[in-house]
Structure formats: C-alpha cells, structure tokens
C-alpha cells in the first residue's frame, strides 16, 4: 500500500510530528511505501536545520532527514506556509524541499491513503 502523509504541527509543541514519524517508519518496516510527507501550516517547522534540541531530547528534524535518506521519502514543505514562517531553501535540513499544494494533491491522487497528523 502507498501511504501519503501530511503533518500540520511543529516538532516540539504538539505530538503530531512524533506520531507521524513513528507511523511512517512503522509503515515502511511493515512493507508499505511512503512516497511523500507534506508539511503544512506549523508543520513546516519540522524542516529547519536551525533546530537545536537539548542533547538528551530527540531531534525530530534529523529523524525526518534520516527517513528520507534511508527510504527515499520525499519531504515537501508548503511554500506559502513556509514563507509565512521564514522557512527558505537555505535553512532546510537535508531531504526537505519547498513546493506547492499541488504536491499534496498529487500524493492524495497517487497514494492509496493520505493520513493527516495535526489540526
């Protein structure tokens, strides 16, 4: 099964990002495909390499980057939501790219399921 994911909450102010990451990783481990994760609204804050959590805390941004590297997951940041929050190409973590809502629509069409995390 092909599963698209949308994340609309930031990495440290809501459970949505952690849950989405764990869902994606588990789906891949179970043999499903996760071709794209689309970050929307405050979810775009999952993409910045400027994030520096304490050493004893999880690094949510690095988790997403590693998932993209290991499994070819396309991590797409909404351009409009990103611009409103100061997210530009030069501060994106590895594996992330900026694009438009068309990428979310495409994931909804091409995937068997589109699962959303956050409000």
Give the Cα separation of 105 and 93 in Å (integer): 23
CATH of the domain at 85: 3.40.1260.10
67: containing domain: 3-117
Distance separating alpha carbons of residues 30 and 96, to the nearest angstrom: 24
pLDDT at 118: 96
CA pseudo-torsion sign 68, 10, 44, 4:
positive
Confidence label for 83 from pLDDT (cuts 50, 70 and 90): very high
What's the whole-model pTM score? 0.96
Mean pLDDT of the chain: 97
Which residue in the list 6, 77, 78, 114 is annotated as catalytic?
78
Tally the domains of the chain. Answer: 1
- Spatial CB neighbours of 27, under 8 Å, sequence gap ≥ 6: 3, 34
Q: If 0-12 CB within 10 Å is exposed, 13-18 middle and 19+ buried, where does residue 49 land?
A: middle
Question: Would you place residue 119 in the very low, low, confident or very high pLDDT band (cuts 50, 70, 90)?
Answer: confident
pLDDT tens profile 23-35: 999 999 999 999 9
Clarify whether 111 is annotated catalytic: no
């Amino acid at each position: 099964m092909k599963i698209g994911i949308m994340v609309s909450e930031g990495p440290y102010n809501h459970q949505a990002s952690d849950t989405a990451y764990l869902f994606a990783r588990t789906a891949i481990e179970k043999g499903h495909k996760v071709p794209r994760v689309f970050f929307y609204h405050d979810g775009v804050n999952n993409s910045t390499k400027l994030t520096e959590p304490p050493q004893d805390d999880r690094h949510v941004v690095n988790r997403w980057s590693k998932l993209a590297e290991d499994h070819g997951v396309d991590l797409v940041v909404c351009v409009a939501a990103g611009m409103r929050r100061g997210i530009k190409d030069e501060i994106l973590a590895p594996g992330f790219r900026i694009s438009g809502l068309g990428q979310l629509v495409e994931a909804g069409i091409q995937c068997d399921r589109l699962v959303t995390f956050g409000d």
